[in-house]
């Protein structure tokens, strides 16, 4: 099956055009998780570009985590989610960019006065209003994570404002975080968490705690995420500091 042709009048470099085609094919589910992509020489022929261009396009998508190379077998649509540790993206965005459908099962949604622990994490005064969201997060019908978010009251009109994506709701009120601090730790799922995720107690998880801030420095979120250890690779680009 051919994925398409490149537009003759597109001024973008060929490898970027090819990347766009492949990305679209994944997002629109013409290519699924674990599917092999056509061999380089077929892609080069189909798209009428050189193999160097094909290789460059694939290299970029491999480093983005959308594709993985398996030695001797070819290049496949990645099955584990490669999650950037340094991008301020949302769960929904992470899934949509991989052609998967984000979905949440709500455990609870509430409003209340900040606890002493939350007030420390969010820098709020005692008594301040916060909203709390506890969700099981899915990609299509697969469980991916458990999330507990605490959002200052000034960020949203009410907890009901969040129906699917929290970041979409925050974006609508102009309170999507622009900066965040994160901490990552290995965990073993306890019995309750394992049951919600449909894994075994003791199975490994990645605990990521994110504190997000607005441009003016005020807190926008305190979220504790428990990602499935069997579903995620956490990746980051490093630069020499010397
Ligand atoms: C991600 C964030 C979490 C944020 C959520 C919003 C990490 C480690 N955590 O899971 O802090 O609250 O996305 O997702 O990336 P949503 O907009 O899909 O609800």
Q: How far is the CA of 36 from the centre of ligand 1 (A)?
A: 29
Q: For a pocket test of ligand 1, which of 166, 176, 235 has the largest count of ligand atoms closer than 8 A to its C-beta?
A: 166
Q: Is 143 in the pocket of ligand 1 (CB under 6 A)?
A: no
Ligand 1 contact, 94 CB (< 6 A): no
The verdict on the CB of residue 91 being under 6 Å from ligand 1 is yes
SS3 call for 170:
helix
Q: Are 130 and 119 a contacting pair, CB within 8 Å?
A: no
Q: How far is the CA of 91 from the centre of ligand 1 (A)?
A: 5
Whether the CB-CB separation of 26 and 33 falls below 8 Å is answered with no
Are 114 and 155 contacting, i.e. CB atoms less than 8 angstroms apart? Answer: no
Ligand 1: does its nearest atom lie under 6 Å from the Cβ of 92?
A: yes
Q: Give the C-alpha separation, 100 to 143, whole Å.
A: 12
Dist. CA 81–CA 133, nearest whole Å: 23
pLDDT per position as a tens digit, 102-117: 999 999 999 999 999 9
Residue 2: which residues within 8 A CB-CB, separation 6 or more? 46
ipTM attached to this prediction: 0.99
pLDDT tens digits along 62-121: 887 789 898 889 999 988 888 999 999 999 999 998 888 999 999 999 999 999 999 999
Tell me: the pLDDT tens digits for 123-161?
999 999 999 999 999 998 899 999 999 999 999 999 999
What gap in Å lies between CA 124 and CA 122, rounded to an integer?
Answer: 5
């Amino acid at each position: 099956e051919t994925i398409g042709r490149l537009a003759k009048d597109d001024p973008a470099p060929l490898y970027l055009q090819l990347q766009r085609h492949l990305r679209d094919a994944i997002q629109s589910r013409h290519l699924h998780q674990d599917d092999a992509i056509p061999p380089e020489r077929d892609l080069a022929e189909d798209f009428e570009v050189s193999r160097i261009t094909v290789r460059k396009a694939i290299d970029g998508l491999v480093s983005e985590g959308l594709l993985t190379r398996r030695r001797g077998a070819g290049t496949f649509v990645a099955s584990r989610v490669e999650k950037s540790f340094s991008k301020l993206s949302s769960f929904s965005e992470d899934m949509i960019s991989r052609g998967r459908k984000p979905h949440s099962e709500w455990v609870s949604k509430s409003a209340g006065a900040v606890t002493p622990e939350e007030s420390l994490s969010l820098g709020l005064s005692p008594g301040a209003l916060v909203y709390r969201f506890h969700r099981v997060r899915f990609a299509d019908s697969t469980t991916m994570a458990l999330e507990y978010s605490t959002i200052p009251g000034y960020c949203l009109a009410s907890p009901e404002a969040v129906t699917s994506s929290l970041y979409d709701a925050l974006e609508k009120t102009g309170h999507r975080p622009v900066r965040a601090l994160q901490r990552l730790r290995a965990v073993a799922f306890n019995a309750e968490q394992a049951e919600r995720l449909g894994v075994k107690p003791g199975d490994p998880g990645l605990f990521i705690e994110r504190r997000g801030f607005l441009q003016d420095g005020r807190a926008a979120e305190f979220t504790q995420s428990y990602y499935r250890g069997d579903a995620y690779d956490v990746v980051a680009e490093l630069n020499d500091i010397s």
